[in-house]
Amino acid sequence: MVKSSADYVKAMESNVQSNQDVKMIQILDDFQIEGFRYKIKMIDLDPSNLKFKSASNSMQWIQYSIIANIVTIYYNVSTFSVDMTSMIYMITYIPFIFPASYLLDRFGLRFAVLTGAIGTMTGSWIKVFSVSPDRFWVTFIGQTFVAVSQTFILSVPARLAAVWFDLNQVSSACSIGVFGNQLGIAIGFLFPPMLVQNNEDISQIGRGLHAMFYIVAAFTTIILVLILLFFKSKPPLPPNQAQAQIQRENETPKRFFISMKKLITNVGYLLLLFSYGINVGVFYAISTLLNQIILQYFPNHEKDAGRIGLTIICAGMLGSVVCGIVLDKTRKFKETTSGVYLFSFLGIIIFTFTLMSTNQIFTIYIIAGTLGFFMTGYLPVGFEFAAELTYPEPEGTSAGLLNAMCQVFGIIFTTIYGYFLHVWGDFWANIFLCIVLALGSFLTIIIPNDLRRQKVLKNSIVED
């Protein structure tokens, strides 16, 4: 008697699978959805790939701060007010990530992605109507909508990778998912200085802002339509038997609160939580104030400030992909995490002393790129190490808490870094960042090497 794929799905749901059933499910999985699965993983124009949705949100995070000197002139506001357009991403994330993580676990990927896309599009269109020197409050409202929407987006890559890919592929898949967020930040660094140029004529600045806001609003609208038409929450069959079991367990609402309790009592995860938050918090602080740092040494170089930020992110995107491949090939999660963190620490030291000792801006590009390769390349590494330490808890929840801690440290470090920058100068401000990254490196080194997900993978291989 020949069994159909529906028979195997029913067998899975009843949790009474024979070894033959499990093997047949894998065969059906390979033929029926492997192509679509790799469309999600590969860097292409498939709208089911989340990188463009993530990019449409993250590109707006830094779009004001990277042209801070121009925005302060046009809206007649302080630099702190402009910094707040970036920090609002961090401030709103902290209270909203918990309900967002619950909704992700409860209703799945499609619900979370659609919610994030709708909010991002709404905020983008609000900003279109903020182009007037007396409407900074309107642009801030629009930015707040976009900021809240990110809570439904940032935790998606880890969950997407786990739902669609087998255990020996999730690191590469997650790294490419994080790639989208970095791609958006890169766009946010590059295009605002090109579209909104410094000009004594306020109306010319307004035209640049209008063009920027319309382009972003149109892009987010297109992305929403494509997600509505094409995005799928999960494959017809789970990539492996372990994932099928987890999906069944996670369908109960109480699972979210049980997971939260387990996460906050996991010592290794808590150490990673603080070390990850420190690293990304430092990155947030540098990114938010990069325009002000560069213009101190190279006046009227707004475009270079944006391009240096672009260099940081592009190098980080390469670092993300490289680290994802290294993790999949070596399975050395702690070693990779520790190594990348230590190089980030060395990178910020070199950046600190190079900035004050050179008058060649090209040198800053090189050093910033090296720093970005490790600092932003660390993002998917931290996600995947967290998934290893906390398995089988939902990846969206562990990633959500990591991101929440990043926002806490991002607010703290951006505030302190900005204060030191204006009171003590950039050297001592950067020394502060060196000290906190040294602390983060120490915390990373003492994290226990408890790779729970890898143990499941090895056991499944032995059983086969």
The per-residue pLDDT for range 62-112, each reduced to its tens digit, is 899 889 989 999 999 998 899 899 899 889 988 887 788 777 777 777 888
Handedness of CA 405, 411, 414, 417 (dihedral sign): negative
Decide if 390 contacts 263 (C-beta within 8 A). yes
Q: What is the pLDDT of residue 122?
A: 95
User: Higher model confidence: residue 258 or residue 3?
Assistant: 258
Token match 């699972």: residue? 255
DSSP string across 229-277: HH--SS-SS-SSHHHHHHHHHTTSTHHHHHHHHHHHT-HHHHHHHHHHH
Handedness of CA 252, 461, 455, 390 (dihedral sign): negative
Share of the chain above pLDDT 70, in %: 75
99-120 pLDDT tens trace: 887 777 777 778 888 888 899 9
Structure tokens at 166: 């087998």
CB-side neighbour CA atoms (13 Å) of 38: 6
Residues 6+ apart with CB under 8 A from 272: 337, 382, 385, 386, 389, 402, 443, 444, 447
Q: What is the pLDDT of residue 219?
A: 92
Structure tokens at 181: 């967020």
Helices marked H in 63-201: 68-75, 79-107, 109-128, 136-149, 156-164, 170-195
- Going by pLDDT thresholds of 50, 70 and 90, the confidence category of residue 45 is very low
Query: CB-based burial of residue 315 (10 Å sphere; 0-12 exposed, 13-18 middle, 19+ buried)?
Result: buried
DSSP string across 430-452: HHHHHHHHHHHHHHHHTS----H
User: Higher model confidence: residue 55 or residue 237?
Assistant: 55
Which three-class secondary structure state does DSSP give residue 321? helix
416-460 pLDDT tens trace: 998 998 888 888 999 999 999 999 999 999 988 877 777 766 665
Lowest mean pLDDT among 197-211, 318-332, 427-441: 318-332
- Average pLDDT for the chain: 78
Q: Which long-range contacts (CB under 8 A, 24 or more apart) does 328-332 make?
A: 328/168, 328/169, 328/171, 328/172, 331/451, 331/454
266-318 pLDDT tens trace: 898 999 999 999 999 998 899 888 888 888 888 888 888 889 988 988 888 88
Residues 156 and 145: their CA atoms lie apart, in Å, by 18
Q: Do 47-232+241-251 and 255-463 fold alike per CATH?
A: yes
Residues 321 and 339: their CA atoms lie apart, in Å, by 16
Structure tokens at 434: 């060196």
Domain ranges of the chain: 47-232+241-251, 255-463
Decide if 388 contacts 463 (C-beta within 8 A). no
Q: What is the pLDDT of residue 240?
A: 54
Nearest to 372 by CA among 280, 454, 304: 280
The mean pLDDT of 144-154, rounded to a whole number, is 87
The mean pLDDT of 47-76, rounded to a whole number, is 81
User: Higher model confidence: residue 166 or residue 41?
Assistant: 166
Q: What is the pLDDT of residue 145?
A: 94
CATH number among 1.20.1250.20, 3.40.50.970, 1.20.1440.130, 1.20.1300.10, domain 47-232+241-251: 1.20.1250.20
Backbone angles phi, psi at 25, to 5 degrees: -60, -40
User: Higher model confidence: residue 107 or residue 244?
Assistant: 107
Residues 23 and 19: their CA atoms lie apart, in Å, by 6
Q: What is the pLDDT of residue 403?
A: 80
CB-side neighbour CA atoms (13 Å) of 91: 11
Q: What is the pLDDT of residue 172?
A: 54
- Going by pLDDT thresholds of 50, 70 and 90, the confidence category of residue 198 is confident
Decide if 146 contacts 119 (C-beta within 8 A). yes
The region, left, alpha or beta by phi > 0 then psi within -120 to 50, assigned to residue 451 is beta
Q: What is the CATH number of domain 255-463?
A: 1.20.1250.20
Structure tokens at 271: 């150490």
The answer on pLDDT for 129 being more than 90 is yes
Q: What is the pLDDT of residue 142?
A: 96
Structure tokens at 453: 């997900």
Q: What is the pLDDT of residue 29?
A: 45
Question: What is the DSSP code (8-state) at residue 300?
Answer: T
Q: What is the pLDDT of residue 24?
A: 42
pTM: 0.71
- Going by pLDDT thresholds of 50, 70 and 90, the confidence category of residue 8 is very low
Q: What is the pLDDT of residue 389?
A: 85
The answer on pLDDT for 338 being more than 60 is yes
Q: What is the pLDDT of residue 162?
A: 58
Q: What is the pLDDT of residue 208?
A: 93
Q: What is the pLDDT of residue 175?
A: 54
The answer on pLDDT for 393 being more than 90 is no
Q: What is the pLDDT of residue 398?
A: 78
Residues 6+ apart with CB under 8 A from 127: 138, 139, 142, 143, 213, 216, 217
The answer on pLDDT for 207 being more than 60 is yes
